[in-house]
Amino acid sequence: MNSINYVLGAGGLSPYDLEHIGISRDPSANMLKKVLYTLARRPSLDMLRNALKNAAEVKDLKTQLTRALNLDINSIKAEFHNVEHHRAHVASTFFVSPFLDAAILSVDGMVIL
């Protein structure tokens, strides 16, 4: 929340000024790979419970954000977007670069082809 407040303050904006808000997490992305990975490792009940809780929290980003920043949920006009994690890495690199075209590689914990 501190980073969100800092960025908004640096831009002279409030959360109510935003039109789009993205989170670098899409619970439905790569679902088959996630399920196969999880089943192959025979997860504990706690691990499954935590994963489901996390997915539910990510799915309701608007409520989480408004609670954390003490905002009026009905006054937020921004559209919320879940962005696949690796694509978010790539976009955050490309969109701040001076290039019109670029080849970007994101290396993380899961291989996505």
Q: What is the pLDDT along the chain (113 residues), one digit of tens a residue?
A: 888 889 999 999 999 999 998 887 766 666 677 677 777 777 777 877 777 777 776 667 888 888 888 999 999 999 988 888 888 888 989 999 999 999 998 887 655 44
Sign, Cα dihedral of 12, 14, 16, 21: positive
Q: pLDDT (tens digit, 9 = 90+) per residue, 20-36?
A: 988 877 666 666 776 77
- How large is the greatest C-alpha to C-alpha distance in the chain, in angstroms? 49
Q: What pLDDT shows up at residue 53?
A: 79
Q: What pLDDT shows up at residue 113?
A: 44
Q: How far apart are the first and last CA of the chain?
A: 33
* Closest-CA residue to 25 (of 83, 81, 79, 112): 83
Q: How far apart are CA 109 and CA 86, in angstroms?
A: 10
